A and B are shown apart, each in its own frame.
Chain A
Amino acid sequence: MNIVIVGCGRVGATLAGDLDAKGHRVTIVDISTRAFERLPATFGGNAVRADEDTLRRIGAAEADVFLALTEGDNRNVMAAQLATEALEVKQVVAKINDVVRAKAYAELGIATICRTDLMTHALLGYMGLPVGPTPRIREAAPHTHPDGTSPVAAAIGGSTVGGTTVGALPTVEA
Chain B
Amino acid sequence: MQLSASSISISLSGRQVLKGVDLGLEPGQVTGLLGPNGAGKSTLMRALAGQLAHQGHVEIDGRAIAGMSEVERARIIAWLPQQRVLSWPISVQAVVELGRLPWHGWRRAMSQADREKCAAAMDLLDVTGLARRPATELSGGEQARVLMARAVAQDTPVLVADEPASGLDPAHQISMMAALRHLAGQGRTVFVSLHDLSLAARWCDRLILMKDGEIAADGPPDKVMTDATLRDVYGISARIGRDECGLWLAPLGLTEGEMGNG
Chains A and B form a bound pair: no
Where the two chains meet, the residues of A that have a C-beta atom closer than 8 Å to any C-beta of B are: none
